[in-house]
Structure 1
């Protein structure tokens, strides 16, 4: 919360005791207390049409959960805590309503926080994504159709349940619920057939562009830590605004970035990407291999789901591996709507069309454009 922000009566008491002291100290010019912000809190005000305070607070909490789940999904955040404390103002009578406030265990809350990111870097990324109309963040937030918002809300609810689950079985089941609800669009087809029609094709058609995204983020982090990108790259048309560049331009000039990498694995991945970009035989082999592997993976996940749901199965080797694959599949499906840049690549229908175009061209002996 901005220390200079004017508070509505009662808002300050929604903060923990330690945060109240920090806020009061920051307003006192004579204070010599050195403040270190270990936790980063957000304070929200919402205007909700409701019949009473209970209905309004419940709807407001759900809206906050939906927005926070989108941010957690987009930026891989974990254990973001929503306080149960709130108060409401009746816009007609100006009467203030609030529930009985229960003291929360601050030590417990701090223990639950997992600050595995740098707030300045996160803030930089959020600002950049807000400005980019095609970013994943904007793609998720601006889905204004009621049915789309409802589906997104439910999928992210179960997705976050999976991320925060403590056991492998809980993770798997939570991710499965999210995935099944996400892909179930045709009442005349079974869930399994819809999975096999969509998941392998999505993963294959996006495998190269997702690899490019990963390499791109590596260099973005390097150049940001150095304060600027190399002048050699800025002189290249299309790269002067790095990191705001097009995936095709980045792929075309990727070898120019290699000299700035000190990571042998990154260099190996760059070489593999370049070889796959020009070799028709290698492209066809990889396309077939990836499709077979992803179909086998999808079938395996479905069999595990059946064993757990229908036979109360409790023993599965490498269950966490398949739970992690479910998480990855959901991320791929949710991150691809209609944009064609490095942040979100292709819609589901575009991915399907891309895959069959690739297959036809390779069968004819023509190299394909991987991004």
Structure 2
């Protein structure tokens, strides 16, 4: 059957990428509704060769929707996602609004697809930096185990939105490395200070929280444990913003707990994994870089090496397009898995739709 799909936040970077990927992957959608704020309503987006008018995202828009992709900010998701579920849609949410809700599956299909069977109409898409890391670590965990992870991220400005990309462009064109160049957005728009990103590295993504970690760092710590279903896994993160437009990079230290693990075995596990491309030949200077990962669906790994002091410990460099596997593509892969498994929540066996109450139960 063909599905009715809604994209909430259709005019944003992730929303536009979702539309592009739906078209590229021939997603079985008979109808796509493009929704956004009242401010963006009335604009148009091009999809499957036709211009489509963007409509305001209000509860009634979801009455005929099967699958709704939300990417318009946490407040919008909190207000409208439960409404969409009650009206029969399955929501795949790209914000942090529901990620740590114990009743909401947090899903990377290559890692924990099975938890989709337990969804009650709402599924959370993880943080972009978390997604690429768990994709790289899951093949290792399955073969050798995993006991500790320490990650430092080097994240692109596109993760902070289109305005941050524009600010990087203005600063790069005019500041010549000056520290007093105009900065209004980074590291956090609502924070007390702002710093230039051009010619700079900012060791703060999101606001600071408990124990001196930023909320971005806590997202990586807590989401990794939830996705891998390893509450006792030791995880620590340092998240840094770099003057790169698209593509997050990560330096990942991990301990397997298996003293016999070696680089050949780790590399073989990565090469056999779905969605992973290994670029790792120091002699030919082959390794992943964000410039060359942009527009690519895979997670790229390289610079694999054994820690010189800790048995069973390794270092790995991980790169991915944060707007694709880190957001839009992972959301679509979740939807594709739901369809393949027959677990799109609003469907009846006869192909018609059903509405759900707030607990995910069918309304007769």
TM-score normalised over the length of structure 2? 0.27
Which structure features the higher share of strand residues? 2
TM-score normalised over the length of structure 1? 0.26
